[in-house]
Structure 1
Amino acid sequence: MISSISLFGSSHAHKFYRKCLPNNPHFALSMHSVTKSLGKAMSMKRARLKPHATDIRRNPQAHDLYKLVYRLPENLSWLMQPEITKRPASKKKKQKEEMVTGNQLGVILEWEGVVVEDDDTDLEPRVWYVLSLEEAKSFPPDAVLKEIEGMRTDQAISEVLCWSEDPEEIQRLAARKEVIYQTLRGGYYKLRPGVLDFLNTLVDFDIPIAIAAPRSRMSLEEGIKSVGLQGYFDAIIALEDFCHGKPDGEMFEVAAEQLGLEPDVCVVFGNSNLTTESAHTAGMRCIAVASRHPAYELQAANHVVRWLDQLSIVDLQKLANGEVIGRRGRESDMDMEIVIEE
């Protein structure tokens, strides 16, 4: 500390301040006075310190005290250490640690109608209509269209529509249907309100997130990139990752496996009763998002919301534990929310 202060009394310091303020002679003069005074003061301080230091060696009693203080046993060494006050962890950090260590939780999100908008209810029927025209097939009635909603395309073609039994032909039709879908959609996706805040909250609490959809991996990854959500998902479950589509729960089982979690601690977000059935088949709770369908049609779910940010982390953990969560969220959307007890 002495060496750093004495620097102000040197000619280098004087030149430095004169260089910084060449047009202020009064400042330079005052700095000269101050540095000169500091130099004298430090010389006087060094003069006082020197005999004080030698007194310890000359005075036997002071020397004994010196040895006593610096030879304290280790269990008394705290007497010589300054007291350090630890900063308490923030409330948010404490809550986060309690949440993460207390209960495991995983979130599995469907793509259309949950993460991105899916308000064009006529898109899927139009896709099947174009495909049926191209292949000279009979157009499926509304009841059948509702039955195959959310299913794997190849499964719908072979098991419900019965358009073909040849595996190669089924795959060709499924690939063509995906091309028609992307063409009619235009490749444009729009995030639903509240999705980004919800995902950021999950990331803040280190909750694993998976996205699952019966779409090709290329199509799904391009959609994620188009809305800027790269890096948010710990697992991406695409068409290539499972064999049996809805109402089978394999897609969600694969998601839980890739997250490294048991199915009973995972919460699925979907927008149809078929998704709810699949989630329950996989042993998971399901939250239905009233986007394509109104809330009163989604009564099979454990909980129904309009927007994802209507839910808190505590809500999700309660739901994963089998508890019923109450009404939350934006006041204007409360009429869209229904709580279903098991």
Structure 2
Amino acid sequence: MIDLVINARKASIGEGMEVKRILPFRQKRMVGPFIFMDHGGPVQIDRKFKTSLDVLPHPHIGLSTVSYLFSGELVHRDSLGIKQTIKPGEVNWMTAGKGISHSERFENAGLLADNSLELLQTWVALPEKIEEVEPSFVNYQPSQLSEHTDKGLWMRLIAGEAYGIKSKVNTDSPLFYIHVKLENGTKFSLPKNYSERAVYLVKGQLEIGGETFSAGKMIVFKMNKNPVIHAKGDCELMLLGGEPLGERFIWWNFVSSRKERIEQAKEDWKQGRILLPEDDNKEFIPLPENPFKPKKDPSPEPLS
């Protein structure tokens, strides 16, 4: 029933901002088209301290970034000229395609002090035929996302299709991404008809197949199995999965089905051929010399 359990690992994406990194994992690089998943926070900063949580302008290719906030607020700027503040329950869906740069800044110091910042960022790899699509960005409001409630259950379909519901968020391959809250004792089943499925436990404890799992774990399930998820106390979780796209190479913020395309992207960033956001172009993250720690697994994990 259970194929693999992934324990979130600590990773730093800047001074004062440590995240839980779930994907990629050495034994499981992707779940469906999902190739990256970070859980940031909860973080609370005293307003008298100047923080450096901002993520400076940096590039992407070959993927869509999906930002989803539980609490707090951040400001997105990109090389398309878009500036967008994202708040809890909203979705920022940015498709990098042939190349885009963006920044994420925490401009409201009061919010950082008064509300714990907590967010999830995932990357969705693009099908090979559209890896070089023109970049785009869309913000979706909570009112545009389908929600469902039942006894002991609340669910928001962020993207894709599940349980007979289809999200208004535009996607490029079969997938599902769902935010779920369960009350103590509630039982729940995964979406069917997908090759790869997983649960990431944000808060609380779950029982699956007689095993108990705590927050910070991703449970990946075998194909054609329909496990029952049993909440042991109040829980919050993310369901994700879909159909695999084939092998993908990943280096820093670049994803591609071709190694040579990664090398081109590295050179494009070094030479300034990927533009910076027009109103956030005074600083940027330079191309790392070697962003990965030595390890036995030759396929690298990204930093952020």
Superposed pair shares fold, TM > 0.5:
no
Write 1 or 2 for the structure with the bigger share of helix. Answer: 1
TM-score (norm. length: structure 2): 0.25
Looking at both structures, which has the greater relative contact order when contacts are Cα pairs under 8 Å and sequence separation is at least 6? Answer: 2
Structure of larger gyration radius: 1
Write 1 or 2 for the structure with the bigger share of strand. Answer: 2
